[in-house]
Amino acid sequence: MTTQDYQLLIITVISILFLIFLITSKLKFHPLLALLLTAIFVGFTSGLDIDKIVKSIETGAGSTLGETGVTIALGAMLGKILSDSGASDKIASSILHNASYKKLPWMMALAAFIIGIPMFFEVGLIMLLPLIFTIAKKLEDEHKMKGSAYVAIGVPVIAALATMHGMVPPHPGPLISVNQFGANIGITMVLGVICAIPTIIIAGPLYGKFITPRLSVKPNQDLLNQYTNDNNENTQAPSTFIAFSTILVPVIMMLLHAIAGIFFGEKTLQYKIFEFFGSPIIAMFVGVLYAIIVLGYLKHRDTQKIRDALGSSLKPIAGIMLIIAGGGAFGQVLEDSGVGTAIVHLADNFSLSALLMGWVVAALLSISTGSATVGIVGATNLLYPLIQADPSINKELLTIAIGSGSLFFNYVNHGGFWLVKESFGMSMGETFKTITIVQSIVGICGLIMVLLLNAIIGLF
């Protein structure tokens, strides 16, 4: 550890406190402005060149929007179609009819577990928002739940999507470690699912049951109106099969991409076809087109009304997208300032097992830079020499350990934090009590499961 390393770590802590102050104090800064101001503060105090600060902000905001912005927009369009056609209400009614309200959080966790196999966290959440809001609103109207119904239904979904995103291939994060370490992807998937199931249960339905009575969260009314069935047109509701198929089409496309990665080489034509159609943007785009056809054109809905509805669906999420871009800018400036290197130097000072070291480094890098991917890449590169020197290290479990560490303490410099905050209309404190605590539980439970499995495998 050098003096500069300590300075960068101190700057990181101060910047996060500064950001929280700007948003929660009497100044009441808009999150986008607060994130940009904090990013500039980090850039100057860490010694970045002026032109580098601007480039980092542009790169961070642009790459974040490029990765998630269009997908979120397509998800909003899909949600609007589902709402206006009555499809989301049909799905919600089907689920409510087949389960007591006490079982709903468990069913939503299961749905998110399945959908989360191929989908990124942000994409899965946007896909499920219409369902979350519709079911929660019905529960709220029936006064069947103490506290926030939106938290009760949303927390299990957040837990399941986050767990699958970080711990189970074929998500990009775990795949980075699988490829670098030369781990077996099939074994990694099996062990990842074994670790994920108890993790989701604890961080999802169980923690959700604890926190729900303590919060009174309700989404912004404009967004709620968009995703629920209050304002849908008086058209015949679609069949249950058609309603469910509109959600499953993009899920299946992404899942086929994941499966293709197991059976076909990355350079084969077959894999490239599945890769194209299974990419989040293309899969969501096809899903929207499918929904327009089966829920719009084939139902003889007015095409001008469909177009107007799709346009209006983007208004409530415009602010969300810009705030997420601001989070990307903040995270990029932190990364470019050299915080990641300082974290690696800090980790080198501790004598830990490979599994624990991988988790700690990934967690620290993810917390400091606002990127789970940076956490995984940094930890993978740091641990790679150990893998070469010690063949006895379980490469599959190390991959899962690094992935679970990257999920720990998702906070203000993570895009997912702001997506949850703005989607559910939460305060900073409420967002901390939901996604931050949920992902911290996921990270810790994931590590415990990895260490437990490593001990069991060591007996044989």
Outline where DSSP puts E strands in 312-437.
none
Instruction: Say what the pLDDT of residue 427 is.
Output: 94
Residues 6 or more apart from 433 whose CB is under 8 A from it?
211, 214, 215
Residue keyed to tokens 């899965």: 124
For residue 280, what pLDDT band results from cuts at 50, 70 and 90?
confident
Q: Contact at 8 Å (CB) between 403 and 166?
A: yes
Q: Contact at 8 Å (CB) between 371 and 409?
A: no
Q: Is the pLDDT of residue 1 over 80?
A: no
Task: Report how far residue 224's alpha carbon sits from residue 221's, in angstroms, rounded to the nearest whole number.
Answer: 5
- Angle of the 372-389 helix axis to the 172-181 helix axis, nearest 10: 20
Q: Contact at 8 Å (CB) between 89 and 139?
A: no
Q: Contact at 8 Å (CB) between 109 and 157?
A: yes
Lowest mean pLDDT among 23-32, 240-249, 344-353, 405-414: 344-353
Instruction: Say what the pLDDT of residue 432 is.
Output: 95
| Segments forming the whole domain that contains residue 111 | 3-459
Lowest mean pLDDT among 122-131, 265-274, 312-321, 340-349: 340-349
Task: Report how far residue 207's alpha carbon sits from residue 200's, in angstroms, rounded to the nearest whole number.
Answer: 10
Q: Contact at 8 Å (CB) between 411 and 436?
A: yes
Q: Please give the structure tokens belonging to residue 419.
A: 């997506």
Amino acid making up residue 144:
K
What DSSP character marks residue 98?
T
Amino acid making up residue 153:
I
Cα–Cα distances (Å) from 335 to 36, 47, 116, 367, 389, in that order, read 15, 13, 28, 11, 29
For residue 433, what pLDDT band results from cuts at 50, 70 and 90?
very high
**pTM to 2 decimals?**
0.79
| pLDDT average, residue stretch 85-112 | 84
Residue keyed to tokens 């989908």: 119
Task: Report how far residue 6's alpha carbon sits from residue 41's, in angstroms, rounded to the nearest whole number.
Answer: 17
For residue 441, what pLDDT band results from cuts at 50, 70 and 90?
very high
Q: Is the pLDDT of residue 205 over 50?
A: yes
Q: Is the pLDDT of residue 83 over 60?
A: yes
Q: Please give the structure tokens belonging to residue 367.
A: 């917390």
Q: Is the pLDDT of residue 437 over 90?
A: yes
What is the per-residue DSSP string for 242-286?
Answer: HHHHHHHHHHHHHHHHHHHHHHS-TTSHHHHHHHHHHSHHHHHHH
Cα–Cα distances (Å) from 377 to 86, 186, 212, in that order, read 43, 21, 35
Q: Please give the structure tokens belonging to residue 38.
A: 């904090």
Which of residues 99 and 282 earns the better pLDDT score? Answer: 282
Q: Is the pLDDT of residue 318 over 90?
A: no
pLDDT one-digit tens code per residue, 128-157: 888 899 899 988 888 778 899 999 999 999
Instruction: Say what the pLDDT of residue 23 is.
Output: 85
The pLDDT > 90 percentage for the chain reads 42
Residues 6 or more apart from 131 whose CB is under 8 A from it?
88, 91, 92, 95, 108, 111, 247
Instruction: Say what the pLDDT of residue 46 is.
Output: 93
Residue keyed to tokens 């992404």: 254
Q: Is the pLDDT of residue 232 over 60?
A: no
What integer best gives the mean pLDDT of the chain? 87
Residues 6 or more apart from 94 whose CB is under 8 A from it?
240, 243, 244
Q: How many structural domains does the chain have?
A: 1
Instruction: Say what the pLDDT of residue 284 is.
Output: 87
Round to the nearest angstrom and report the end-to-end CA distance of the chain. 40
Q: Return phi, psi of residue 428, to 5°.
A: -60, -45
Instruction: Determine what percent of the chain falls in helix, strand and coil, rounding each to the nearest 5.
Output: 80, 0, 20
Which of residues 350 and 308 earns the better pLDDT score? Answer: 308
383 sits in which H/E element? helix 372-389
Q: Please give the structure tokens belonging to residue 97.
A: 């009819």
pLDDT one-digit tens code per residue, 152-203: 999 999 999 999 988 987 676 787 888 889 888 778 988 999 999 999 999 9
